[in-house]
Structure 1
Amino acid sequence: MLKKLTEEKLAEILETGIAEFAEKGPDRANVNVIAKKAGISVGVLYKYYENKEAFFQACLRRSLGVLESVLHEVIESDDKLLTRAEKMIRAVQRYSREYSNYIKMYNLITSGSGKKYAPLYAAEIESMTAKVYTGFIERAIKDGDIRNDINPRLFAFFFDNLLMMLQFSYCCDYYTERAKVYCGEDILEDDEKVVSELLKFLESAFTFCQSEVVHKK
């Protein structure tokens, strides 16, 4: 009779899977290797997950769930927009270091061998964040904290793109090298500089009205 695995053991199995999928992608990752590293048989793994794809999706949901919980701490605050933005940037930096394999899993469904999962997860992953970002930008406009000639939904999209690319820059090889090309070899080791310069960029975007821009002829 199969002994039921504890929640702790199931979490360990998922973490093992996340590490393997993050390194090799869903197509190249080997379930036999994952089971061996987790200290179980393949048969036991398949008692809990129908097949490799179902296991991959469970790993993906775990990684995205942690990401969502980290951002929720900041999203649900009542801070001013730029204060909230600073907290989110710092959360991304911390999360990217603590859970680099989770970020790599997220990156998998944006391109490469995991892109077939995009239609399944894009709406699920992004809808909550898009709604909240749009909401706090709308509130900032209403309160007079930022310029009022912007489209909240588009600005929410642009803002999220910045944070997403920042995550990838800390964890994903191509984006790490890209950041070094643009910003210098040591930029990802200087958290305060990244926070400071990104906040300047955002502050200009949110507060500098077109009527105030003067171009020299």
Structure 2
Amino acid sequence: MLKKLSEAKLQEILETGISEFAAHGPDKANINVIAKKSGVSVGVLYKYYDGKEGFFKACLKQALRALEAAIEEAIQGDDKILVRAEKLIRAIQRSAKENPNYNVLYHEITAGSSQRHAATLAAEIEGISSRAYVGFIAKAQEDGDIRKDINPRLFAFFFDNMLTMLQFSYSCEYYRERFKIYCGEEMLADDERVVQELLKFFESAFTTEQSQIPHKR
């Protein structure tokens, strides 16, 4: 009879899986390597998860729980939209330092490593942020805190694109190098400057209506 694994051990196995899937993608990651690095047999691993695909989905859910918790913390209460944005930016910076593989796994999926599951994964991953962002942007618009001439769903999409790129810039090698080219290598270590500059960008987008922008005739 197999000994039941502790919650701590199951968490360790999931973190090992996230690391391997982030490094090699869902298809190329080797379940034997994951089991060996976790100190268990493949048989034990499959006792808890329904094959490699089931294990991958469990790893993804582990990463999504962290994402969902960060978003929920940032949007709780009645904070103004820029305060919420600041909390989200700081959560991304913190996540990149504490759990970089979560962001790398996200990037690996978006890069096409799981095309056969694209619709399902997109619904699971993006549904969390899209509902939150559309909701608080629409609420801010109703309350008169931001410009009236915007489509909340499109602005939520643009807003998330900026935050997603920031995630990748802190965690993924190519985008980290891209960050350095645009901003200078020293900026990767200057979290506060990044927060303040991105907030200026968001503030302009959310408050400056098109009619206020001078146009050349």
TM-score (norm 2): 0.95
Match of residue 182 from structure 2: 182
> Structure 1 residues 21, 128: CA separation in 2 closer, same or farther (over 3 Å shift)?
closer
Contact 2:25 2:108 in 1 (8 A): yes
Q: Give me the whole-angstrom Cα distance separating, in 1, the residues matched to 2:90 and 2:72.
A: 13
Match of residue 13 from structure 1: 13
Match of residue 132 from structure 1: 132
- Runs (4+) off by over 4 Å: none
Q: Give me the whole-angstrom Cα distance separating, in 1, the residues matched to 2:84 and 2:4.
A: 43
1:75-90 aligned within 5 A: 75-90=75-90
Task: Output the aligned Cα RMSD.
Answer: 1.4
Match of residue 51 from structure 2: 51
| Number of residue pairs matched by the alignment | 217
Flag structure 2 segments of 5+ consecutive residues without an equivalent. none
Contact 1:168 1:176 in 2 (8 A): yes
* Pairing 1:198–2:198 present: yes
Task: Report the 3-state secondary structure (helix = DSSP H, G, I; strand = E; otherwise coil) of the residue aligned with 1:186.
Answer: helix
Contact 1:103 1:171 in 2 (8 A): yes
Q: Give me the whole-angstrom Cα distance separating, in 1, the residues matched to 2:54 and 2:42.
A: 14
Q: Give me the whole-angstrom Cα distance separating, in 1, the residues matched to 2:65 and 2:24.
A: 21
Q: Give me the whole-angstrom Cα distance separating, in 2, the residues matched to 1:185 and 1:114.
A: 32
Residue deviations 1:51-78, cap 9 Å, x none? 1121111111111111111111012231
Match of residue 91 from structure 2: 91
Flag structure 1 segments of 5+ consecutive residues without an equivalent. none
Q: Give me the whole-angstrom Cα distance separating, in 1, the residues matched to 2:115 and 2:180.
A: 26
Task: Report the 3-state secondary structure (helix = DSSP H, G, I; strand = E; otherwise coil) of the residue aligned with 2:110.
Answer: coil
Amino acid in the other structure paired with 2:114: G
TM-score (norm 1): 0.95
| TM-superposed deviation, 1:216 | 4.6
Contact 1:104 1:171 in 2 (8 A): yes
Q: Give me the whole-angstrom Cα distance separating, in 2, the residues matched to 1:24 and 1:124.
A: 21
Q: Give me the whole-angstrom Cα distance separating, in 2, the residues matched to 1:203 and 1:138.
A: 16
Q: Give me the whole-angstrom Cα distance separating, in 2, the residues matched to 1:128 and 1:23.
A: 24
Overall identity of the aligned pairs, in %:
64
Contact 1:77 1:84 in 2 (8 A): no
Amino acid in the other structure paired with 2:48: Y
Task: Report the 3-state secondary structure (helix = DSSP H, G, I; strand = E; otherwise coil) of the residue aligned with 1:148.
Answer: coil
* Pairing 1:172–2:167 present: no
